[in-house]
Chain A
Amino acid sequence: MNMMIKAYRRKLDVANGRVDLSHGAGGRAMGQLIEGIFHKAFDNDWLRAGNDQSAFSVPGGRMVMTTDGYVVSPLFFPGGNIGTLAVHGTINDIAMAGAVPLYLSASFIIEEGFPFADLERIAQSMGAGSREAGVPIITGDTKVVERGKADGVFISTAGVGMVPDGLDLRSDAARPGDAVIISGSIGDHGVAVMSKHENLEFDTDIASDSAALHGLVADMVAAGGAHIRLRRDPTRGGIAATLNEVASQSRVGFRIDEDKIPLKPEVAAACEFLGLDPFNVANEGKLVAVVAPEGANAVLATMRAHPLGSEAVLVGHVVADDNCFVQMTTSFGGGRIVDWLSGEQLPRIC
């Protein structure tokens, strides 16, 4: 008589269980974690195939590839969590090149003792975010480190996308006279994260602006592709870092108008009492575009027609400047530089 004894597997106790070292050891426990949490959340044919890699076909042309690490603290904040940030951030890095994002990878470094429930929440929002964006997570990795060697969970991602034919966005393309357009209010993400940071907690309705911008970018490319010199997502270091980066790469200066910068009163107030300059505070769902003057109006109108660009505004212009200064006329009437953030001890915001 033939007798098959099926190996007994206790169900993953997602509600009460915690990640332990066995979940990173390469054994059955790890398989169970990956299937029970990640595959369930990201569900697609590639993952179901269960390979260490995923194959996909691409049409001919130019590709972009990006990689990003996420260490935000706290892991959950108003408007998102480390998972949504990882998906949106990676998609945005691809989209800023004007490329169409295709696939993502996600690698998790998890601290021993991390609750399954939190991990599932993070994975579920990543799954939802990637489905909504139409950019599947097709491969991944899981590691578990001893307690104290990480801070809950760190996520590292990669993403690939295709650049439409004829599009060539360079970081040194800004020219004097070009218009500078911001897609919406600045500083929301950084302030939302800080409002939940330990030692700093304060009550606010501000939510992170975390969002995937490839839809907005696609509309912009369709409307004014040839006129758009470059695009950036002003994440860490805020608008200030982005403009300074572009200024030094293109060897130009900027002149912007403080009165035109969209800034929510709650964000302005939080920055005020935290002693922060909103120009240095991070965004996760905004973009800055430098557009040739003749295309500025069309691009602006297209952005405003998209829900993620409805508050888009032209905030200033590129000027010739050997010093590459980002200068601003303040609402008060004087001039100032909008400089890089210098070494302030801010909480981890992405």
Chain B
Amino acid sequence: MKYIDEYRDGRLAKDIARQIAALAAPGRSYHFMEFCGGHTHAISRYGLEDLLPANVRMIHGPGCPVCVLPIGRIDAAIALAMRPEITLCTYGDLMRVPGSNGSSLLKAKAAGADIRMVYSTLDALRIAEAELEREVVFFAIGFETTTPPTALALKAAIAKGLGNFSIFCNHVLTPAAIQNILESPDVRKLGTIKIDGFVGPAHVSTVIGTEPYEFFAGEFQKPVVVAGFEPLDVIQAILMLVCQVNDGRHEVENQYIRAVTALGNEKAQAEVANFFELRESFEWRGLGEVPYGALRLRPQYVAYDAEKRFSMVTPAAKDNPACECGAILRGVKRPADCKLFGTVCTPDTPMGSCMVSSEGACAAHWTYGRFREKARQVDVGRAVA
């Protein structure tokens, strides 16, 4: 595959790995958080961990849209979908996300709810056009990458005068979440981990650019390297982070120059700004309430806002008390530290959201990396001995 295989070249990877091993100072540890699930997936899928020295550790961040959606929002969507007039359109990832009491959209569908899996917002729009007697609601989730398509769907619905189309908006914002990990009193109380730098988002940054990260790189003195989702992108970004840490720098650097600019896609940003505004606060699973960390429809589009149109309520709902998704999303715990991991919680029967999406830290570790657990236990044993 032209333009893909080049970024998966094992020989180049080994070369960069050698440089990292040479530059990583033996006396210190390097903890880098890859914010995005796309990076987590690449790290696990290509076994990148095996190429890093022991003192360079990757912490999987909360950048998986499915994983950070709180249970209450799933419950609200299920309640909505159970109404006879509603057709709920959703991306496939959300179908198995566990709601309260073992519920999920998949189970609601089996129980008779009209839930359709779509591959794009335009599919949902097409359904609304074809079935004018149905109330078609698009379950919109995702970071800055998926918000512009939702804005465009809304724009098209308005242009076509589609009165039966609306949006259940759960779009969230990346910079706010990264900042929250570093400074929120909530997160501090819940426990956090020393992070020496961030592998910055790939697709998100194509939309927002690198500039939004400047503030906290300076404010919190943490280097950020925006990187693509291919494994060579990630390992190169790690090398760049190691160099920044060694030099005492905390800059925003762009590894993903083939797709990301400083200012991003301004046209997409303008479309988003036309239709969406900031929520004062929004709950993120694992992080708690994040101020200005999510979007809602502007008041003039209230007719297209499913939350208003159907007077939806988001019930307060708690995760399973044994589920460590929260601590894992903040990087405090590893997936295997959770008692549920691999016992009752697997990708087939997920208890927590990190086990649902292939981008979730637990699912990625279970699917690709769990063979390392035995080795790690042996290492620990050796250290104790």
Contacts and interface: CB of A to CB of B under 8 A. Distances in A.
Contacts of A337: 367-371
A343 B347 contact: yes
B159 interface: no
Nearest to B52: A334
B8 A199 contact: no
B4 interface: yes
A272 B10 contact: no
Given A334-B47, A336-B47, A342 B348 contact: yes
B4 A272 contact: yes
B46 A342 contact: no
A334 B50 contact: yes
Contacts of B367: 337, 339, 342
A90 B13 CA distance: 45
A330 B47 contact: yes
A325 interface: yes
Given A268-B1, A272-B1, A342-B346, A323 B48 contact: no
B1 A336 contact: no
B46 A334 contact: yes
A343 B369 CA distance: 19
A2 interface: no
Nearest to B368: A336
Contacts of A330: 10, 45-47
B18 to A, nearest CB: 11
A335 B231 CA distance: 13
A200 B119 contact: yes
B228 to A, nearest CB: 14
A57 interface: no
B44 A323 contact: no
Contacts of A327: 371
B123 A199 contact: yes
B368 A339 contact: yes
B14 interface: yes
Nearest to B374: A323
Nearest to B17: A333
Contacts of A335: 47, 50, 371-372
Interface in A300-350: 323, 325, 327, 329-337, 339, 342-345
Given A200-B119, A327-B371, A337-B367, A342 B347 contact: yes
A267 B343 CA distance: 34
Contacts of A336: 44-47, 368-369
Contacts of B129: none
A332 B46 CA distance: 6
B117 A334 contact: no
Contact of B14 (A268, A269, A325, A333): A333
Contacts of B119: 199-200
A332 B123 CA distance: 36
B224 interface: no
B221 to A, nearest CB: 31
A166 interface: no
A336 B8 CA distance: 15
A185 B134 CA distance: 45
B106 to A, nearest CB: 8
Interface residues of B, number: 38
Nearest to B372: A335
A349 to B, nearest CB: 16
A199 B120 CA distance: 10
A265 interface: yes
Interface string B32-74: 0000000000001111111100000000000000000000000
A332 B44 contact: no
A344 B347 CA distance: 10
Contacts of B17: 333
A93 B368 CA distance: 30
Contacts of A272: 1, 4
Given A343-B96, A344-B92, A332 B371 contact: no
B243 interface: no
A281 B367 CA distance: 16
A279 B231 CA distance: 19
A249 to B, nearest CB: 19
A333 B43 CA distance: 12
A323 B119 CA distance: 36
Given A272-B4, A339-B368, A333 B10 contact: yes
B155 to A, nearest CB: 22
B332 interface: no
A48 B88 CA distance: 52
A325 B373 CA distance: 12
Given A200-B119, A272-B4, A333 B47 contact: yes
B96 A333 contact: no
B275 to A, nearest CB: 25
Contacts of B1: 265, 268-269, 272
A332, A342, A344 interface centre (most CB from chain B within 10 Å): A332
A343 B119 CA distance: 17
A331 B8 contact: yes
Contacts of A344: 92
B49 A334 contact: yes
Contacts of A200: 119
B95 A332 contact: no
B217 interface: no
Nearest to B373: A323
A332 B117 contact: no
A327 B367 CA distance: 11
Contacts of A333: 10, 13-14, 17, 46-47, 50-51
Interface in B221-237: 231-232
A334 B232 CA distance: 12
Contacts of B346: 342
Interface string A266-284: 0011001001000000000
Nearest to B371: A325
A255 B318 CA distance: 41
Contacts of B366: 339
Nearest to A345: B92
Interface string B122-145: 010000000000000000000000
Given A333-B10, A337-B368, A342-B346, 17 more contacts: A272-B4, A323-B371, A325-B371, A330-B47, A333-B47, A334-B46, A334-B48, A335-B47, A335-B372, A336-B44, A336-B46, A336-B47, A336-B369, A342-B347, A342-B367, A343-B96, A345-B117
**Closest 6 pairs (CB-CB, A-B):** A334-B47, A342-B347, A332-B46, A334-B50, A336-B368, A335-B47
Interface of A: 199-200, 265, 268-269, 272, 275, 323, 325, 327, 329-337, 339, 342-345
6 contacts: A199-B123, A332-B9, A332-B10, A332-B232, A335-B372, A343-B348
